[in-house]
Amino acid sequence: MSLRQSCSGPLHRREVLRLGSAAGLALTLPDLLRAQQRSPTSTGTFGRAKSVIVLYLHGGHAQQETWDPKPDGPAPARGEFGAIATSLPGVHVSELLPRSARLMHKLSVIRSLSHSNANHVQASLAAMTGHAHPPSTEARGDFPPSSSDFPPFGAVLSQLRDATPPLPPFARGSTGGFLPTWVQIGPLMRRNNGTVLHGQIPGFLGVGHSPLAIDQDLLPADVRVEAVATDADVPVMRLTDRGRLRDQVERQRRAFDRAAEMQTFDAFQRRAFALLSAPATALAFELAAEPAAVRARYGRTQFGQRCLLARRLAEAGVPIVNVHFCHTPVGSWDTHSRHFTQMKGSLCPIFDQAFSALVEDLDQRGTLPQTLVLATAEFGRTPRVNNAAGRDHWPWVYSVAMAGGGTRPGTVYGASDGIAAYPTAQPHDPRDLAATVYHLLGVPADTMIHDPTGRPHALVIGRKIDGLLA
């Protein structure tokens, strides 16, 4: 049995500095605002998604107890739960997803994703980037992320698009200002041995394309997002005066140091200040402004409130929002033991409520067509049930669900065998899923990105999955 996943709380300053220098993880606003991007034109489904919300179910959700149940399979592989009809005639999902079942006509599900790496840490890179580690690294097991890793969606978008686009209409008004390109909501995901999962840092694109990280309790009625909060004792109106004073100090300092690097640092400090002081930023992150009924609909859970905040950010114009579902009060998706108890008692109910609320909410607000929701993970779970009543790691077939953003609603693509062990139709791997996401974002398939040495890298190495596209 491999180590079960764990999630970190806020990183200590020393750890941030260490990871930032070694692996490109820098969570300060000045650093994340270094991006320069360009927006491609859109035709058909190409570029249909203006934002992507990635719901990452770390540990690996069991295909049998979610999107690909096998009620007629042999016991005990079929599991303890049945399958229920959905809003899509002839299609069934696990009885543990009743809310999602009612929305199946809005979803696209692929049941035939497959790869061969059963290591959480390594497989997460492919899930987040579409680029796997070389096969020779699989024997290494858990090892830290590196500044040479391939960058994930958020870091790539941070480089390709303008980091300071005008904001689209939000709520009943419209405004302009700064918003980050990439936001991560939830704890930094890592194993219980401390190893950070790959695919959460900007890799060879560097710290300037890091995400804005939100890692805090989101349950309070008056929650305040600390990552973008100004000093509680200083009203936003007074920030402009503080800015003038700061300008004076910086002018004096620059008189002593005109180095290009320092000039660049100053510029991003200014943009970070602009973000923090912009009313548009405060509005986008103001989770407490949501009606109590809406917050309850998503679920009074950390994951539910993360999904609601993700909806606000996507509608405000943040291109990439990662939501981490890596723990609950009673378990994790890495269900090596007590699998059925955890799936029924915590994991599936929390996910089902939040995921269905997110899709329904976006649909009712008219923003689902331009917002891609992707519920994914590093792999699935074994068809075999082990001696601890658990399911172990299984990358050879698993399922993910998508909605909106140019995907084809009411689609079940691909198939697995009678025990959900291997694909039997239309197999694809994470490279193809990433190619599909980039297509929907409007990133050309022949895009090249460059590492610090100037070496070019093909961004898309898979083929988009046309059967998932509208």
Round to whole Å and give the CA distance between 92 and 109: 11
- Tell the burial category of 141 from Cβ atoms under 10 Å away from its Cβ (0-12, 13-18, 19+): middle
Q: Is the dihedral of CA 344, 350, 354, 357 positive or negative?
A: positive
- Strands 5-7 and 212-214, by their bridges, are unpaired
**What confidence tens digit (pLDDT) does each residue in 299-350 have?**
999 999 999 999 999 999 999 999 999 876 667 899 999 999 999 999 999 9
Question: What is the structure's pLDDT at 180?
Answer: 87
Question: What is the structure's pLDDT at 278?
Answer: 66
Can you list the residues of the chain whose pLDDT is less than 50? Answer: 1-5, 10-42, 162-176, 233-240, 242, 245, 248-249, 252-253, 255-265, 267
Edge-to-edge strands, sheet with 398-403: 212-214, 182-185, 320-325, 51-57, 371-376, 398-403, 107-113, 411-413
**What confidence tens digit (pLDDT) does each residue in 360-405 have?**
999 999 999 999 999 999 999 999 999 999 999 999 999 999 999 9
Question: What is the structure's pLDDT at 35?
Answer: 33
CB 181 within 8 A of CB 320: yes
Nearest one of 124, 51, 183, 107 to 352, comparing CA atoms? 107
Question: What is the structure's pLDDT at 354?
Answer: 98
Instruction: Please tell me the CATH superfamily of domain 5-225+288-468, with its number.
Output: Alkaline Phosphatase, subunit A (3.40.720.10)
pTM: 0.85
DSSP character for 76? T
Nearest one of 183, 180, 185 to 275, comparing CA atoms? 180
